Chains A and B, each alone.
Chain A
Amino acid sequence: MISPVKVWRRQKTVRDLLGKRGSIVSWTTIFTPPPQFKHIAPYVVAMVQLDNKTKIMAQLVDFSGVIQKGQQVILILRKLRESSPEDVIPYTIACKVV
């Protein structure tokens, strides 16, 4: 079970990242995931440098083309982690190509 308190605490910082833009520094496709991500594997995780120069890690979603370094992305919210029906839904920061 994912602690609802943890989800509540985390959303305070997640909120500030939404809509921010940046560019892809490096990326990988994960073929051997942790259990909570098994249902969506394989999936792409990118290291993104935001316009304010800080870097974040986020899954690249809604994209099936060839990824390139420097690709421009925008941060959005997605339900990526599998949780049980009683859990608070853990939304996570993801990115999509602009």
Chain B
Amino acid sequence: MRAGIVGYYSTQFGELWERSLFDLVEESIWGVIKKSKIDLKQIDAIFFGNMLGGIIENNLHAGAKIAEIMNTHIPVFHTEAACASGGMAFHLAHNYIMSGKGKTVLVIGAEKMNDSSPEQITEGLMSAASGEEQECGLTFPGLYALMAREYLSTYHYTKKHLAAISVKNHAHALNNPTAQFHKTITEEMVLQSPLVADPLGVLDSSPISDGASSLIISSDPSFLNKSKKAEIFSSEIATDSISLMKRKSIIGIEATQIAAKKAFEKSKLKPRDIQVAEVHDCFSIAELMAMEDIGFWKKGEAGKRAGDYETLYGNGGSLIVNTSGGLKAAGHPVGATGIKQIGELYLQLTHQAKKRQVKNARYGLAQNVGGSGGTAIVTILGV
């Protein structure tokens, strides 16, 4: 059996003061149903990725809320894996179809973050780290800063090599209408930006965002034959210790390495076959590690190759990374990110990406990370 993505819709990402979490969810549901030209009755189940609703908004039992919005009685499953909540929703939705339990599934990812203060959000996000890490006052920027310092020191790179990631992703977001930022930045601006957790500055970091994204996945031949579709070749998940201090290495994410290896094996593809990738650049250092962990670049090479802007659109490279703007510039509504990444690949592979369309894109890869690397999901699509 084969399953494909037959529709994608994303709300605007950003500071959406007039919209609640479920306003955004509702827009993305009706948006994707309209775009896919699907009848509500044809949806067999729903998977919903969201991290913070229960913590900062006192909004749990989201399945019943979604049932109310859609006036339906079909099963709705809520997934939570920190920033990989969306990727996990997609992974489980794909499994649901491949097990034969249903033919057509709606996958939603959403997050509402701007209603809370930065301190509340920082604390809420830290619920995805270990008790010991919370107890000493660490934050997610702090955890990635510990990795960044060790990476830069091990391979003799500087903060300039990190800055190139943010510059590239902001350049890409200029052509993504739903991105949070439409502003060109320079390496100098990144280097001068106020520190969040040394050596990472504000412009090394993904923002606080609101947004929702939805996909329709189906194995139903009647959809797959008539719709613009991208086939799901593989969706693999791996886990690791929640505590950074208990990992073998802090200059790579082993869960990504394992999930990527499995995803390539299952799809019978190699890293060089991929033309477009969406990787989890929650902080600039994360994209450098992702490029090595997935196997696109060798260990220790990422600083140099990122510094040369090899994966920038229009630079003639064979692989373009984060055409959406990535988490840095498209925004990072935590639960929505994993869905937006796969949605961006869908747009690229079905040639609907307009100004940011990568020519001859046939295979795409998405990497979604939860926490500081405790969960990783790697998905490969193709046409």
Partners in one complex: yes
Residues of A within 8 A of B (CB): 10, 25-38, 40, 43, 45, 47, 55-59, 69, 80-81, 92-94
| Contact across chains for A59 and B198 when beta carbons are under 8 A apart | no
| Known contacts A28-B198, A30-B197; A92/B149 CB under 8 A | no
Q: Can you name 12 extra interface pairs (CB under 8 A) apart from A27-B149, A28-B149? A: A26-B150, A28-B142, A28-B145, A28-B146, A29-B195, A43-B137, A45-B146, A55-B246, A56-B132, A57-B244, A57-B245, A80-B136
Please give, as numbers and ranges, the residues of chain A lying within 8 Å of B194 by CB-CB distance: 31
Among A32, A40, A55, contact of B118 (Cβ-Cβ < 8 Å): A32
- Complex alpha-carbon distance, A9 and B350, angstroms: 55
Among A30, A35, A56, contact of B142 (Cβ-Cβ < 8 Å): A30
Residues of B within 8 A of A (CB): 118-120, 122-123, 126, 131-139, 141-142, 145-147, 149-150, 153, 194-200, 244-246, 250
SS of B interface (majority): helix
Among B120, B149, B245, contact of A55 (Cβ-Cβ < 8 Å): B245
Please give, as numbers and ranges, the residues of chain A lying within 8 Å of B197 by CB-CB distance: 28-32
Please give, as numbers and ranges, the residues of chain A lying within 8 Å of B139 by CB-CB distance: 30, 32-34
- Complex alpha-carbon distance, A66 and B137, angstroms: 21
- Complex alpha-carbon distance, A31 and B142, angstroms: 9
Closest-CB distance, A44 to chain B (whole angstroms)? 9
| Contact across chains for B195 and A92 when beta carbons are under 8 A apart | no
Find the B residue at minimum CB distance from A59.
B136
Please give, as numbers and ranges, the residues of chain B lying within 8 Å of A29 by CB-CB distance: 195, 197-198
- Complex alpha-carbon distance, A58 and B126, angstroms: 16
CB pairs A–B below 8 angstroms (23 shown): A10-B131, A10-B135, A26-B150, A29-B197, A30-B139, A30-B197, A31-B195, A31-B196, A31-B198, A32-B119, A32-B139, A32-B196, A43-B137, A45-B138, A45-B146, A47-B250, A56-B132, A57-B138, A57-B244, A57-B245, A80-B136, A92-B135, A93-B136
Please give, as numbers and ranges, the residues of chain B lying within 8 Å of A57 by CB-CB distance: 132-133, 136, 138, 244-245
| Known contacts A45-B137, A45-B138, A55-B245; A33/B122 CB under 8 A | yes
Please give, as numbers and ranges, the residues of chain A lying within 8 Å of B118 by CB-CB distance: 32
| Contact across chains for B126 and A34 when beta carbons are under 8 A apart | yes
Please give, as numbers and ranges, the residues of chain A lying within 8 Å of B196 by CB-CB distance: 31-32
| Contact across chains for A34 and B149 when beta carbons are under 8 A apart | no
| Contact across chains for A58 and B119 when beta carbons are under 8 A apart | no
Among B135, B137, B147, contact of A30 (Cβ-Cβ < 8 Å): B137
| Contact across chains for A47 and B136 when beta carbons are under 8 A apart | no
- Complex alpha-carbon distance, A37 and B134, angstroms: 10
| Contact across chains for B195 and A47 when beta carbons are under 8 A apart | no
- Complex alpha-carbon distance, A43 and B364, angstroms: 41
